[in-house]
Chains A and B, each alone.
Chain A
Amino acid sequence: MIEFLKQPWPWYVAGPLIGLTVPLLLIIGNKSFGISSSLRHICASCIPANIPFFKYDWRKEVWNLFFVFGIFLGGAIAINLLSTPAPIEVNPNLAQELAGYGITNYDNLIPEDIINWQSLFTLKGFILMVIGGFLVGFGTRYAGGCTSGHAIMGLSNLQLPSLIATICFMIGGFIMANLILPIILSL
């Protein structure tokens, strides 16, 4: 059983498990599934700065902070107790393209060749981690949700605004990955 759990899980196991989070959160406490709001609650609790958008009772949403702290712990548990040292297997075409940018290390879920503490202080690393992170935080809140809130919770509830948002996430991602990221990775 443990050996089975240690393999990478196929999509048809992981997808339904992620989808089941939606009814689970609703049934145990009337909570609508979403993750990016946690960033807003962190702002509201730590640096509200008298901004109206952060002047609400964040304690009512503290469940969301417990949830994301759990995701952090889950990441630590999975990597330490349930992982095999096998490198990530990716499409050979992608591996070939990435090798052209000097990305050859597949030991971790993130590419250690470009995402590490040393590269943080290079232009490429700064753009990928700092600017990229900023766009994630700014964009998700502007859009009113992220992959979990819009793409999973919103689509599950047949919300047209969530479909529009999800399509825009994908368009933005395709533009970045295919047109802009090659330039950044060449820096």
Chain B
Amino acid sequence: MRIVIAEDSAVIRAGLTEVLVDQGHEVAAAVANGEDLLEAVREHRPDVCVVDVRMPPSYTDEGIRAAIAIRRDFNETGVLVFSQYIETRYAADLLGAASGHGAAGVGYLLKDRVGDVGEFVDALGRVAAGGTALDPEVVTQLLRVSRRTDGLGELTPREREVLSLMAEGRSNGAIADSLFISERAVEKYVANIFSKLGLAPSDADHRRVLAVLRYLDS
């Protein structure tokens, strides 16, 4: 993968570059703020960028704004937002913006997840390929928020669990493995989720994303 990194902490920027290069990927540029990120994306057209949320000059949500701009202007580039904290609002902004422009190719992970190099690189690969990768923490927080609304009220706890794993960007096989059930059972849950959320059986992958977004929007 061709990757651009935007991260203002030099020590994390160096660490991340080391991990990605070590895993055989190309880090086209590693920058420290949102403006340089947009420029680097324009220049290198990477498959995916890893973007920190808090960057100069205001140290608030530069990363989120840059990520939304990238999803709007560079359809082929996925964005993995990479943060020390999970802010539900940022996740909602990011996914809301993404849903209007291809509805995919976004991720939101806690920085600690790089500790599991394999899983981190997998998540990055999913986002590069137009999928989603949400931190379990994001999912937990969004689930907490969504409990208050009625849209997902009909889902059983198991279906909710499957949906939250879908939100993390897992495939049916991966969901089956993590819940210790068969892939066929997962398919059944997924079909139930689609029908309860009123998603017509058209493009299966797209429906997955829509279900996740419905889930996150609620």
Q: A and B, one complex?
A: no
Residues of A within 8 A of B (CB): none
